[in-house]
Amino acid sequence: MNLLFIVLLPLLGALLPPLAIRFGRSASAWTATAITAAALLLAVEPMAAVFAGTPAEAHWPWLPQAGLDIHLRMDGLAALFVLLILGIGLLVILYARYYLSERDPMGRFYGMLLLFMGAMLGIALSDHLLQLLVFWELTSLSSFLLISYWHHRSDARRGARMALAITGAGGLAMLAGFLLLGHIVGSYQISVILDSGDLIRAHPLYAPMLLLVLMGAFTKSAQFPFHFWLPHAMAAPTPVSAYLHSATMVKAGVFLLARLYPALSGTELWFFVVGGVGLATLLVAAYTALFKHDLKGLLAYSTISHLGLITLLFGIGTPLAAVAGVFHIINHAIFKASLFMAAGIIDHETGTRDMRLINGMWKYMPHTATLAMVAAASMAGVPLLNGFLSKEMFFAETLHLAPLGSFNWALPAAATLAGIFAVAYSARFIHDVFFNGEPIDLPKYPPHEPPRYMKVPVEILVALCLLVGILPALTVAPLLAVAAGAVLNGPLPEYSLAIWHGFNTPFVMSLIALAGGIALYTQRQKLFDFHDHVFPFPDARAMFWVAIERLMDAAQAATRALENGSLQRYAALLLLAAVAAVAWPFLDSAAPLAGPVPAAPIDALTLLGALVMMAAAVVTTVWQRQRLTAVIALSVVGLVVSLAFVRWSAPDLALTQLSVEVVTIVLLLLALYFLPQRAAADSSNLRRGRDLLLALGVGGGVGLITWAMLTRPYTTIANYFVENSLPGGGGANVVNVILVDFRGFDTMGEITVLAIAAIGIFALLDNLRLDMPATDGGGRPWSSERHPVVLSQLTRFLLPLALLVSVYLFLRGHNAPGGGFIAGLVTAVALILQYMASGIEWTRQRWQVQYHPMLAAGVLIAAATGLGSWLFDRPFLTSAFGHFHLPLAGEFELATAMLFDLGVYLTVVGVVMLILANLGKLTQRSAGEGGA
Amino acid sequence: MEALAALTLAVLVTCGVYLVLRARTFPVVLGLSLLSYAVNLFLFFTGRLVTGAPPLAGGALPTADPLPQALVLTAIVIGFGMTAFVVILALRARGELGNDHVDGKGDGQ
């Protein structure tokens, strides 16, 4: 349970600092501190278990059928990262309290920082690949927000976009890799995957899977050639860099390498890709770092270089190298976080980060200078500091590599070269900033020591550098042992964390690196000239922006080509695509189109009906410009459709279709009053021919599919409904029982949709102004007799009869054709007749019903019926029914489903009347205006 | 009989699609209505062409498949809602834009 709260606490707590800022900046900082500290306290208990040898696990089922559950697990590696994330997080919170200026919105900063922290903890603790990926993307998103924290600066926005684009793209590749990995193993649970290493490595999909997963890890950890986003992310406030770009986010990539190490490593491919990329990153970034004049730029490239070192260590693939990799993760996090903080202090106090300007800081801030120099020495790998220990292990591991054959001298040489550059850029950091004469044109002068508490986090980290460097066995050894044990997923190799291993080759390499680095630094001016003039290194950032611009241009061109604002064109393209998508599998398949079922004979009446229907459809189309004729022809099609329902045993459908047909035609006639009744032909022959071809394609396709379906044997899933209709639903009309009982929830959704459509229509009709034609299309004036006497008298007489019929249809609906839908439509038709025959005013005076409340009542009654079953501890919409005996009336049946059906009835009446009565009102206004 | 049913649907869909592709709102509404008839009939036909056996439980004989019928029943009513919405949308467009072109372009443009 603790594990879940470790992750949730920062994620949910992210909301609090922005609220707490009302009580002052310190309140906001304290809130963030308290949340982080609480998460750290929660982590104590599972960590104790991890150190005792049993990983803590937690599991909550969510969708077990799909293998999607919440799996959390804390083993040694996860414990190490939780410690780094929360520990350095606490220091960064303290640091940021003094770093951010009065103008910066601090609450937002802490909120986003906590969000990021929770996401990072989620990555560390996830025991499920897809769950890990969700947190992975969450770190990309929250780091985007953090990098663009000063969003008024364009470099911050661009840097954030670049980071998001690169890490987001990597995340997508990784998702594909994870899906493959899950497919290979048959489980997404990481602890299962770690035990399936042999299966994974032998699988034919191993290579693509590995490359995709590595894409994610490399982009996140800024490995060559995706490294260029990290220096641009330095536009972030320095606490963000100290946290994200030293200890946490960029470590997520190497964390993934370490996490999946037992499952993926141990192949040539792994060795060459991971090792090769790591080596390239190590060298390129160490070289580049030396030439950066920006303080944070130097640190950024140094970070990339160290990440390359860690990647290379995992790539080497020996157990000892993996131990060294884990060790360097710890050491780098400690010294690089403190260096970033020191750089932030210098930036804060001098107003610039340009090392050509900042010189001689030793005089102004000796305390900070001492701290920064110790940390930089650790970065360079000077003995007695923690960086030295892992670097020695790294040098030792490069010495014995079988896969390189006769080139086995190359790796130690490259490692030493990288070591030389590391010493050189560390020396530059120390010498350029703290010595090297006097500062030049500082924006803030004279610089002085920062506030006391701003240095505390740096002091703690530097103290750790020394403690780990001098007393490794007493400090870091247990943590390293559990973490490395988790990475190896097996026994640990023999290693010793002593400071002095004798005068051996790695020590010689260290000495060469130190001496060479200092020598290189003294000759830096020549090197700078060489770098500036001779070495036009391809600018990855420029290439990235060019690529992005091209992509945007292509996207816009595609959009312009496809989206020209013509609905006809969209519809045509959509239909064409549909025809192609449906036809494609048929073209490939060898199966005959017609099925084995013999054709039934055609009777004359059916043939006649079909011919009438087809003829009416064709008439509708051909005479579509004579719009009244087209509507009449359309109604013929509708009538034959209802006859077809009668012909093939669907009385409910026939009744529904018939009554809907009436209201539809009334609607279309009303609409036609406001639209041109005749239209000129305005399509070219070419377009008509093209549309006809497309229409024939779609129609022919539908016909063929229908034929293929009807000639195939038939199985139904409806037997359950037929068998349980009477015993379970208490009704003999299975269609109605399905609607109001078995699938009542669907019906509930459907009447809600209807209600929404009616409200939408009401909104569209609101304030609608339309030109009222004074004459019909032929120039004839409208009839002066607006309400013919015969019609109005007849409809008044018919109304009670029609209502009676609808009540009858409603009541019998459960057992015989009828029901709420049909009864509602019949009622609506009867009411509309009154409006049409006697006028809206006349009807409104006698029938004072508002249709909105009716609509609402209908939906609410249906919902309440459903909720009612909860009172009896039954699922939503369980129906009950019983048979009752009344004297005189005899046996009758009541079912709660009828109440539901009443809701349906009211909704349908409300919808139809709301639409038609309001549309009718428009004509009344015009008639009033026109007649006056 | 099966071929006749298929042919009828083909004609309905062809006419419907052709009308949907017209440039004025009213034929589009007509076309959508024709398409809904066709789709409803198609769904209904998935229960096959059964004569004289309405889906009423309690009898001894097998009945027509009630499931497509239930689907189609609500589809008819929803189809009315949709038609009404499109019609009113067309009216509103005419009121706002002064013409009945589907893209809202005036006759002169």
Q: Is residue B108 part of a domain?
A: no
B97 interface with A at CB cutoff 8 Å: no
Interface predicted TM-score of the whole assembly (ipTM), two decimals = 0.95
Asked if the peptide bond before residue A451 counts as cis, ω within 30 degrees of 0, the response is: no
What is the DSSP secondary-structure string of A131-196? HHHHHHHHHHHHHHHHHTSSTTSHHHHHHHHHHHHHHHHHHHHHHHHHHHHHHHHT--BHHHHHTT
Q: What is the pLDDT of residues B37-53, one digit of tens each?
A: 999 999 999 988 888 88
Q: Is residue B109 part of a domain?
A: no
A738 interface with B at CB cutoff 8 Å: yes
Q: Is residue B27 part of a domain?
A: yes
Q: Is residue B72 part of a domain?
A: yes
Identify the CATH number of the domain in which residue B24 sits.
1.10.287
The pLDDT value recorded for residue B109 is 43
Q: Is residue B107 part of a domain?
A: no
Q: What is the pLDDT of residues A703-751, one digit of tens each?
A: 999 999 999 888 888 888 888 888 877 788 888 888 888 888 889 999 9
Model confidence at B34, in pLDDT bands (50, 70, 90)? very high
A644 interface with B at CB cutoff 8 Å: yes
B22 interface with A at CB cutoff 8 Å: yes
B1/A599 Cβ within 8 A:
yes
B61 interface with A at CB cutoff 8 Å: no
What value does the mean pLDDT take over residues A298-312? 94
Contacts of A703 in chain B (CB under 8 A): 6-7, 9-10, 13
A653/B44 Cβ within 8 A:
yes
Q: What is the pLDDT of residues A110-143, one digit of tens each?
A: 999 999 999 999 999 999 999 999 999 999 999 9
Nearest to B45 among A695, A710, A733 (CB): A710
A699/B74 Cβ within 8 A:
no
Instruction: Report the residue of B35, B50, B88, B109 to disrupt the A interface, i.e. the one with the largest count of A CBs within 10 Å.
Output: B88
The pLDDT value recorded for residue A931 is 36
B94/A674 Cβ within 8 A:
yes
A572/B24 Cβ within 8 A:
no
Nearest to B76 among A566, A657, A723 (CB): A657
Q: If you measure CA to CA, which chain A residue comes closest to B82?
A: A757
Collapse the DSSP code of A44 into the 3-class scheme (helix H, G, I; strand E, B; otherwise coil) and give the result.
Answer: helix
Collapse the DSSP code of A385 into the 3-class scheme (helix H, G, I; strand E, B; otherwise coil) and give the result.
Answer: coil
Q: CA of A589 to nearest chain B CA: how many angstroms apart?
A: 21
Instruction: State the total domains in chain B.
Output: 1
Find residue A58's DSSP bridge partners.
A72
Q: What is the pLDDT of residues A470-491, one digit of tens each?
A: 998 888 899 999 999 999 988 8
Find residue A733's DSSP bridge partners.
B56
**Angstrom distance (rounded) from CA A530 to CA A524:** 10
Q: Is residue B87 part of a domain?
A: yes
B51 interface with A at CB cutoff 8 Å: yes
B51/A648 Cβ within 8 A:
yes
Model confidence at A845, in pLDDT bands (50, 70, 90)? confident
**Angstrom distance (rounded) from CA A840 to CA A833:** 11
Residue A497: pLDDT over 80: yes
**Angstrom distance (rounded) from CA A902 to CA A810:** 8
φ/ψ (deg, to 5) at B97? -105, -15
B44/A675 Cβ within 8 A:
no
pTM of the predicted model over 0.90: no
> Is-contact A374 A385, C-beta < 8 A?
yes
> Other CB atoms closer than 10 Å to residue A83's CB: what's the count?
18
Q: Is residue B104 part of a domain?
A: no
Residue range(s) defining the domain that contains residue B40: 2-50+64-97
Instruction: Report the residue of A603, A607, A667, A722 to disrupt the B interface, i.e. the one with the largest count of B CBs within 10 Å.
Output: A722
Cα A692 to chain center, whole Å? Answer: 42
What are the residues whose beta carbons fall under 8 Å from the beta carbon of A534, sequence distance 6 or more? Answer: none
Instruction: Report the residue of B2, B89, B107 to disrupt the A interface, i.e. the one with the largest count of A CBs within 10 Å.
Output: B2
B81/A754 Cβ within 8 A:
yes
The pLDDT value recorded for residue B64 is 86
Nearest to B26 among A627, A653, A747 (CB): A627
Residue B32: pLDDT over 50: yes
Contacts of A597 in chain B (CB under 8 A): 2
Instruction: Report the residue of A692, A734, A825 to disrupt the B interface, i.e. the one with the largest count of B CBs within 10 Å.
Output: A734
Structure tokens at A815: 């057992």
Helix (H) or strand (E) holding A790: helix A789-812
B76 interface with A at CB cutoff 8 Å: yes
The pLDDT value recorded for residue A869 is 78
Q: Is residue B102 part of a domain?
A: no
Window A:813-872, CB contacts with B under 8 Å: 815-817, 821, 825
Q: For chain B, percent helix, then strand, then coil, each to nearest 5?
A: 65, 5, 30
Q: What is the pLDDT of residues A142-182, one digit of tens each?
A: 999 999 999 899 889 989 999 999 999 999 999 999 999 99
The pLDDT value recorded for residue A695 is 94
B8/A648 Cβ within 8 A:
no
A761 interface with B at CB cutoff 8 Å: yes
